[in-house]
Chain A
Amino acid sequence: MVVEAKAVNVETLVEVKNCTMVFPGVKALDNVDFTLLAGECHGLVGENGAGKSTLSKCIIGDNRMTEGELYIQGNKIHIPSFNVRKSQEMGIAIVHQEFQLMGDLNGLENIFIGRYTKRGPLIDWKELQKEGEALLEYLQCDVDLKVKVKHLRTAEKQIIQLAKAMLDNPKVIIFDELTSVLQEDGIENIFRIIRLLKEKGIGIIYISHRLDEIFECCDRYTVLCDGKWINSGYVKDIDKPELIKMIIGRELKNVYPPKNEEFGETLLEVKNLTAHDGSFRDVSLSVRAGEVVGISGLLGAGKTELIHAIYGNYKTTSGDVFVRGKQVEIKSPQHAIKLGLGVIPDERRLLGLNMLFNIQDNTTLPSMFMFKKWKIFQNHRAEEKAAFDINDKLKLRYVSLSQLISKLSGGNQQKVVIAKWMLRNCDLFLLDEPTRGIDIGAKFEIYSLINELAKAGKGIVLVSPELEEIIGLSNKVYVMYEGKVMDTVEGDDINQEVIIQDLLGVKEA
């Protein structure tokens, strides 16, 4: 009711009418309408490639719409001469998920870079410090501005980015998947800031893959699918299944397939493993064939380091590792692979794939030795067939195996990373945030893939910042807090409340 009452006499900040955006050969936006009111948070949702970022780029002037009209605070914009600088002047700001910060400069410099307050030719640091603190006070956040940005936590970096965006006194702020790299507590803080900004009459366009967040912080939503406007409305009028249906254009039952309950031998056992830098200490865990073992924890809990340590890519000082009951000392990824381990790292583009390679070469990279002619030469035909078969099994959407991997969408790229370890016949999959930055449809495909792997008797270690994912997929969950395993939850005990308590280190005595 409150929202509707507002809507009557509230200023329209942004209005997009019949927007069509054509890139050579592709219609990225097709007759899309969008309005943003002052003081509202408007969720923009859709799968990857649905046109969310294209639309936001049209609004900030990074893209020039091919057809359609744009109004900012009631003023009609002359599209051909519109650009990012002009949109900034008109009070539109954008905050990206990727950090556009300089790691070696401190927070203060990052906020004010390029627009220092000067006294004569010199930078007036005292004045800047005051202004910076005022900005943080406005956001009601506490970040040390004198620390080099690279030493800040992810959540704190986001605050710096936000503070930088606030510098122009914007009327509209676009949050572009800001929370996808944040953990629960960081997200809460962003929500708090959004509420604060809304009270001050600022309009917010909120782009996120996490639908729960839309329900938690948005007033209205707009769904895009394949560049077309699907629906807009009040968030309070719909529920999650309805929203999902709109986003992917079909109904989705059983987001998480039934868990596999048949376990085989213990594939991996880790006892009291401690990292050389203490990023995790005294960690013990075990994985059986057919089992999905979830590892949950906030950022900095040591999850990724643990995965890499098991994989022989992170130094440990003490602890024992057993693979199929045999004690081993895994010294390198090569060694780990020989023992049947495969890793799907969190940074797909940086760690998982060779972006200069095509689909086929990426798929066969760890298993090239399996396709030899006369023991020395590569049998490209056999490689091609194997890559085709495995990617076909994973329902990879592609044009040709010789297509560069960079041309695939995030979800399809992730499938290739998984395909390469399936081709290598791995027994134990170490998955580090396998659905990061992947749209909903592809996420579900990855979930059923994980499930199928478990059913085929593979062991799976799953690290994810999304609790729901961990709860929906795992047979057993280890909860880490600041490098230590706080709790192990199994079977029916796996639920949100228990894990959140452990996550925050609040353990009942």
Chain B
Amino acid sequence: MSTKVLGGDERLFKKDYKAFFKEWMILFLFIALFIICSIALPKFRTTNNIMNIFRQASFISIIALGEFFVILIGHMDMSITSIIGMTSIFFAGMVVNAGIPMFWAIVIVFALSIFVGIVNGVLTIYGNMPSFIGTLTVMNIIKGIYFIYSRGLPISGLPDAFNFFGAGYVGFVPFPVILLLIVAIILYVFTQHTELGRSFYAVGGNRVASKLSGINTNFIGILAFVICAVLSCIGALGLTSKTLSGNVSIGENLLFDVMTIVVLGGTSLTGGRGKVFGVIIGALFLQVISNVMVLLSINSYWQWVVKGLILIVVVLIDANSKHD
């Protein structure tokens, strides 16, 4: 018994339907896009192609889910491209050049990422630095460090076994897709069904009110940056595994896609609103667009134009629907 109708204001019910549609608009759009592409393009609807789309969308989804947490609390993490580059180059460096066992190399890159996340968080939360500037600075510092280390050259020669992580199959399902599914389910349960997870929404919605309600807002803030860094690290390992080489430029163009995905997934740029599965749908949406453009052999530079236009439209919708 949770509904209690008093006065029967019909507007409220109508608005709830509208809100539901608006909340899942991206899902409906994605389904529509998928159906149209399937009908119009025979090459698109092959099992192989569709699995490809899922596989290609999986690591970027994981990275976007990290950024999702930062945006959810109303901040922004620009340093993810550097965390990705750093992970890739140092991991490969440790394994190939220094002969450190892969397990320990993974532990170390995770520790490094967590450290970067904490630095981002401390600068933003305790240092009151606008997150845009704080993380942009961190991005450049890290970038400088791994360019000094690698002189910008890729480090190849990772063991073949590592290839499974980014390119392996379990049955006919690509391993990255399974990994994404596991990460998504954990994060879904975390955000919707745990106290800590719900606190991110509370802090994003109203930081001061959350603090006065007893939420440790500083901890939540730093945790968001740490989660972002850790998920970027996982994504980076996946991308590295595909080519079996550490590469400084591996994350270079990802930031824009990640931002587009997070916003496309219905996350509010001012914080407090968004869903884990929305982000994944956002990633698939973007991947389908790229995929179709490749199938139609359109010059890949056009992808930038199209994605840019998509981001403009989505942000315009987000910015102008705040008021109800």
Contact = CB atoms under 8 A, between A and B. Distances in A.
Interface of A: 24-26, 311, 313, 332-334, 336-338, 343, 345, 350-357, 360-361, 365-366, 368-369, 372, 376-378, 380, 384, 388, 392, 397-403, 407, 420
A472 to B, nearest CB: 27
Interface of B is mostly: helix
Given A311-B212, A388-B1, A354 B272 contact: yes
Given A25-B9, A333-B214, A399 B3 contact: yes
Given A24-B11, A26-B11, A377-B189, A402 B195 contact: no
14 contacts: A25-B11, A26-B9, A26-B11, A313-B212, A333-B212, A334-B216, A350-B208, A354-B202, A356-B273, A357-B205, A376-B194, A380-B193, A388-B2, A400-B3
A377 B216 contact: no
Dominant SS among interface residues on chain A: mixed
Interface string B1-40: 1111111011111111000000000000000000000000
A314 to B, nearest CB: 11
Contact of A352 (B7, B202, B212): B212
B317 interface: no
A360 B212 CA distance: 17
A311 B211 CA distance: 11
A351 B212 contact: yes
A397 B7 contact: yes
Given A333-B211, A354-B206, A354-B209, A399 B5 contact: yes
Interface residues of B, number: 36
B205 A356 contact: yes
Given A334-B216, A388-B2, A354 B210 contact: yes
A343 B208 contact: no
Nearest to A308: B212
Contact of B198 (A25, A352, A353, A378): A378
B91 interface: no
B201 A356 contact: yes
Contacts of B208: 350-351
B48 interface: no
A311 B213 CA distance: 11
A415 to B, nearest CB: 14
A399 B202 CA distance: 22
Given A350-B208, A361-B198, A400 B213 contact: no
Contact of A365 (B9, B213, B272): B213
8 closest Cβ pairs, A-B complex = A356-B205, A354-B205, A337-B214, A368-B195, A354-B206, A356-B272, A366-B213, A25-B11
B2 A402 contact: yes
Given A334-B214, A356-B201, A357-B202, A378 B194 contact: yes
A353 B209 CA distance: 6
Contacts of A398: 4, 6
Nearest to B7: A397
